[in-house]
Every structure is written in C-alpha cells, then in structure tokens.
Amino acid sequence: MTDLPRPPFGRLVTAMVTPFDTAGAVDLAEAARLAAWLVDRQLNDALVVNGTTGECPTTSDAEKSDLVKATVAAVGGRAQVIAGVGTFDTAHSVRLAEAAAAAGVDGLLVVAPYYSRPPQDALLAHFRAIADATDRPIMIYDIPQRTGVAVDPDTLAALAEHPNVVAVKDAKGEVVKSARVIGQTGLAYYAGDDAMVLPLMAVGGVGVVGTSTHFTGARTKTVIEAFAAGDTAGALAGYRTLLPVYTGVFATQGPMLVKAGLAARGFSPGGLRAPLQPASPAQAAAFTALLDAAGL
C-alpha cells in the first residue's frame, strides 16, 4: 500500500460544467441531472461547482448560489460539493465563501487572485481572510498560467498552518516544488491537470480535480486506486489508455470540449457564455473520436 496523505475530498473530483438553457440561463435541472450522473456513474467522490470549467467569470453571485444549492440537493450526502469562491477581490471572495457555506457546501476552492498579481505576503493575507470567514475546509487553486501569479512553496507552507487550509489543486506543473510542499506540510495535493495525476501521485499527491473526468471518471478512479494500492503497473496501463483524452480535452478551453462531448452523449449542456464560444464542428468531432477510441 502506497503511503499517501489522507484525501479530504476523496480521490476523484470533477470540476463540473455549468449547463445553460436555450435562453442562456443557468439550467438547474440539467445541472442536478449531470451532478447525479457524475456521482452515480462516474464514481466521483466530490464535485466542484463554480470553477473555471463552470464558467465562473460569467455567472452572477445569485446564479452561483442557486447552482450550489441545486448540486447539494442532488448529491449531498453521496458526494462532497466544493464551491469555487475565488476572485481578484478579497472582500468579494469572502462574501462568496460565506454564501456557499450557508448553502451547505462541504469545501471551498479558492484560486489565487488574477490580474492584480499580488506579492506573496498579500497573497497569504488574501487566502487567510477567506479561510477565516467560514469553518469549511479549503483547497487552494494554484494555476499561475491563468492568474499571473504562482503560490510559492513558502506561502503554501504558511497557509498549511491554518486549520481550514487542507488541500491544493495543483495546476502549476512543477512537480518538484509540489513534492517539497507535500513533504513539509502534509497538504493533500490534487492534480489540476488530468494528465498529471500519476506523476503527482508518485511524489505524494492524492488524486485529481479533473475536466476529462466528466467521461473518464470511473476508469480514472480505477487508475488512482490501483496506484494507491501499490499496483503501479496496472495504474500505468490504465493511465496510458486514457492519456489521449486527458490531453485532448485541453485542445481548446476545457468547457468547450466537455460540453461538446456531453451533447454527443445525450446531455443538454447548452452553449457557453461569451467570450467563450461553442467548440467548432471539427473540434467537437475530434474530441468525440478520442472518447470513442478510448471506449468511453
């Protein structure tokens, strides 16, 4: 059995898309249907709503709250619900955290503030303010290619001293730095890039917060559990069959291809809010072909 940190949100987490109806409004009924399918059929331990894949920059606070409530109602008690509450405004992020906690979420995903690029001491104060606002456990989202600022290892080590900061969604792509933080702090590290799940677990990560896992979830969980049980050969074999989908979902922005794939599988995820646009027919066909080739 591989010695891994305890996974506070389970091992398999999907960052769920936000379905829209034909008028462009959030489709709460379809969101509930999708959430149930992700838990019951794709075996997710937890779902993230209002994350990047959920097009959070284009949904209002009221829509975010409604989506959290609908998801908690659909799968609460069977899976954890994690709400994305990070913005580039500390006060706004605190309000979103308080609202999500009041709606019954199990955890909060907090991305580094984007555009303003605060220095590390300001970044630390930002995360601490949000962590102080509720009693919910927090996953720090470290994705510098989107935010413009990385959360340095020393900052993560300082954040780990806060009792509510328990995990990191790691999309930095610097496994050595991640290994250092895991070793120093015991924070639970989740791959924020689907293809990094095994490399990150090899240095102590616990699982994935995925995008392709809308489709690969059940088989990705088998990969993760095989590795955790010490079956590295079996884990690697399963990983290799899914790798084209892990990488292919990011051929363009994730929500575009996930929604195209869901539409091809009988869901009604709707369109995307500008500035994102639906995947082109060629993009959709290429991604659906990857799903088919992987037996998904």
**Domain containing 213 — which CATH number?**
3.20.20.70
Answer whether 224's CB lies under 8 Å from 250's CB: no
| Two tokens, residue 96 | 């979103």
Residue 4's pLDDT is: 57
**Active site includes 177?**
no
Residue 6's pLDDT is: 78
How many domains in the chain? 1
* Residue 292 within any structural domain of the chain: no
The boundaries of the domain holding residue 151 are: 12-229
The answer to whether the peptide bond before residue 281 is cis (omega within 30 degrees of 0) is: no
Q: CA–CA distance from 32 to each of 73, 196, 239, 262, 283 (Å)?
A: 8, 29, 29, 14, 27
- What is the greatest pairwise CA distance in the chain? 51
Q: Using CA atoms, how far apart are residues 130 and 96, in angstroms rounded to an integer? A: 9
Residue 1's pLDDT is: 40
Burial class (CB in 10 A: 0-12, 13-18, 19+), 80: buried
Residue 254's pLDDT is: 79
Question: Running along the chain, 296 residues long, what does each successive block of 10 average in pLDDT?
Answer: 72 98 97 98 98 96 97 97 97 98 97 95 98 98 95 97 98 95 95 97 97 98 96 98 97 92 97 96 97 96
* Residue 265 within any structural domain of the chain: no
* Residue 189 within any structural domain of the chain: yes
Residue 5's pLDDT is: 65
Given the residues 69, 169, 172, 259, the one annotated as active site: 169
* Residue 282 within any structural domain of the chain: no
Predicted confidence (pLDDT) per residue in 59-69, tens digit = 999 999 999 99
Q: Enumerate residues 6+ apart whose C-beta is below 8 A from 193.
A: 171, 173, 250
Residue 168's pLDDT is: 98
Q: Enumerate residues 6+ apart whose C-beta is below 8 A from 156.
A: 140, 142, 168, 181, 185, 187
* 3-state DSSP assignment of residue 186: coil
Q: Using CA atoms, how far apart are residues 82 and 173, in angstroms rounded to an integer? A: 23
Q: Using CA atoms, how far apart are residues 9 and 190, in angstroms rounded to an integer? A: 10
Q: Enumerate residues 6+ apart whose C-beta is below 8 A from 69.
A: 103, 104
**Active site includes 115?**
no
Residue 25's pLDDT is: 97
* Residue 248 within any structural domain of the chain: no
Residue 3's pLDDT is: 55
Please report where in the chains the tokens 């998904």 appear, as a residue: 296
Q: Using CA atoms, how far apart are residues 163 and 189, in angstroms rounded to an integer? A: 16
Q: Using CA atoms, how far apart are residues 52 and 210, in angstroms rounded to an integer? A: 11
* Residue 278 within any structural domain of the chain: no
* Residue 259 within any structural domain of the chain: no
Q: Using CA atoms, how far apart are residues 284 and 96, in angstroms rounded to an integer? A: 34
* Residue 202 within any structural domain of the chain: yes
Residue 27's pLDDT is: 98
